[in-house]
Structure 1
Amino acid sequence: MAQPNAQEDFAKLSADLATLRSDVAKLTETLAAIARTEGEAAADAVASRVRAGKARAEAAAAGLVDEGLTAYEDAKERAQAITGDVGAVIERNPYGAVLTALGVGFLFGLLSRSR
C-alpha cells in the first residue's frame, strides 16, 4: 500500500506545482502591468514638468528680449542726444574741439606706449 500513497502524493505534488506555476505566472503578469502603468504615469509626470519648465523658460526669454529691446532703444536715444550735443559744441567752438581731440589722442598714445 505504500506504493499507491506515494503515487497519489506525487500526483498531488505535481498538481500543487502546476497551480503554483500558474499563480507565479499571474503574479508576474500583474507586476508587469503595474510596472507599465507606473512607468507611464512617471513618464507623463516628467513630460508635464518638462512642458512647464519649457513654458517658464520661454516666458523668461520673452521678458529678457523685451527688456533688451527697451534698453537698446534707451541707449540709442541717449547716443543720438549725445551726438547732437557734441555736434553743437563742435559747431560753436571748432578750434577747441580740435585741440581736445589732439589732447585725447596724445594721452592714448602715451598710455599705449610699450615700456
Structure 2
Amino acid sequence: MYSISEASEVLGVNPHTLRYYEKEGIITPDRSSAGIRSYTDSHIKWLNFVMKLRETQMPISDIKKYTQLFLEGPQTTKDRLTLLEDHQKNIQEQIQVLLSTNDMLSKKIVAYKGLIGERKQGLIP
C-alpha cells in the first residue's frame, strides 16, 4: 500500500495529479476509516497506463470514457478496443509528423554546419 505522497513519488507526478484523476473518476484509491487515501500495486499499474495515454495526448475525456467502459465490465471489450485502436492511429499520425519534422531539422542543421564550416575556412566573409 502506498500513501498519496508515496504513490506520486513512484509515478513521478504531483499528488495534485492523483487527486485530479480521482475527481475525474479515473482512479478510486482505497480509503482508511479516517479518509486517508492508499494506493495498491494495481492502482499504480493502472495509473502508469493512464499516464502513458496522457503522454501520447489522449484527451482526459477519452480516458474517462475508457475507465467507465472498463468499470462496466467485459461486455464493453469491443468499445474499449475501438477506443484504443483510434488512439493508436492518432499516435501513428503523430509519429509521422515527428519523423517528417526531424528530417527537415536534420537538413537545416547540415546546412548551418556547412555555412559555419565555410566561414571558418574563409570562404564566406
TM normalised by structure 2 equals 0.38
**More helix as a share of residues:** 1
Higher RCO structure, 1 or 2 (CA under 8 Å, sep 6+): 2
Structure possessing the higher radius of gyration over alpha carbons = 1
